[in-house]
Amino acid sequence: KQEVTQIPAALSVPEGENLVLNCSFTDSAIYNLQWFRQDPGKGLTSLLLIQSSQREQTSGRLNASLDKSSGRSTLYIAASQPGDSATYLCAVPMDSSYKLIFGSGTRLLVRP
């Protein structure tokens, strides 16, 4: 059974700092991994999707890496801003289906 874990559960950093969020999964036979952002009281916004054949994906100040063999993914945020404050979730599909298994998220606070 696939389990997805995110560490830390919460993170507080000063503005401008670079930071890394971690995601681990127990079954390395994944097809892709998706990172989402959730603002309080809002839905999820897809940030990056990494296919199993890829090692990383970049979008602006965000860089996501994937290491299937070790069951890990990281989301790197460069030069953090207060507007980055949100909960970040990672998710992997069960088998080859669309059925996403979510981690519990990392709640990020970027202090001005």
Partner 1 sequence: DAGVIQSPRHEVTEMGQEVTLRCKPISGHNSLFWYRQTMMRGLELLIYFNNNVPIDDSGMPEDRFSAKMPNASFSTLKIQPSEPRDSAVYFCASAGTGVEQYFGPGTRLTVT
The stretch among 11-19, 42-50, 65-73, 76-84 that binds partner 1 (CB under 8 A) is 42-50
70 lies in the binding site for partner 1 (CB under 8 A): no
The 10 Å Cβ neighbour count of residue 46 is 10
Under the binding rule (CB under 8 A), the answer on residue 43 touching partner 1 is yes
Among 45, 28, 27, smallest CA distance to 36 is for 45
User: Residue 47 class from Cβ within 10 Å (0-12 exposed, 13-18 middle, 19+ buried)?
Assistant: buried
Does 42 help bind partner 1 (rule: CB under 8 A)? yes
Amino acid (one-letter) located at 39: D
Among 11, 54, 93, 107, binds partner 1 (CB under 8 A): 93
Question: Residue numbers of the site for partner 1 (CB under 8 A)?
Answer: 31-32, 34, 36, 41-46, 49, 89, 91, 93, 97-100, 102-105
